[in-house]
């Protein structure tokens, strides 16, 4: 089982835990808007780290982005496999062509 799959399972287990004992449960209890804002905050921090931070700082922020994205996906009942399927669908397609197809 790869790291992201293990993380997905851990998040699923902790969503309904006592918020006093689990950060995932705290986020879940506060609702989707809080989870979405937290993901945005982490994404901005990753951008800042990319521009002015060290490699280690960017690695840490990237991990935070992935974690918070997966918490939000779980909240919306979207499996990691669904995201991977979409990435597989896009494989071999020019990013410019893929983007143009979404606006059509």
Distance CA(68)–CA(40), nearest Å, equals: 9
Q: What top-level class would CATH report for the domain 3-78?
A: mainly alpha
Instruction: List the chain domain ranges.
Output: 3-78
The model's pTM is 0.88
Least confident range from 13-22, 30-39, 70-79, 91-100: namely 91-100
User: What share of the chain in percent tops pLDDT 90?
Assistant: 83
> How confident is the model over 63-71, as a mean pLDDT?
98
CB-based contact 23:17 (threshold 8 Å): no
Residue that has been written with the tokens 């979409």 in this structure: 86
How many helices (H) does the chain have, and how many strands (E)? 6, 0
Which residue carries 């979207």 as its tokens? Answer: 78
Give 11-24 pLDDT, tens digit per residue.
999 999 999 999 99
């Amino acid at each position: 089982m790869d790291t992201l799959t293990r993380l997905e399972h851990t998040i699923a287990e902790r969503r309904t835990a006592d918020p006093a004992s689990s950060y995932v449960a705290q986020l879940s209890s506060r609702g989707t808007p809080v989870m979405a804002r937290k993901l945005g905050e982490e994404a901005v921090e990753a951008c800042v780290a990319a521009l002015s931070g060290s490699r280690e700082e960017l690695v840490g922020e990237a991990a935070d982005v992935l974690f918070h994205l997966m918490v939000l996906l779980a909240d919306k009942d979207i499996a990691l496999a669904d995201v991977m399927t979409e990435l597989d669908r896009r494989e071999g397609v020019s990013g410019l062509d893929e983007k143009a197809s979404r606006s059509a």
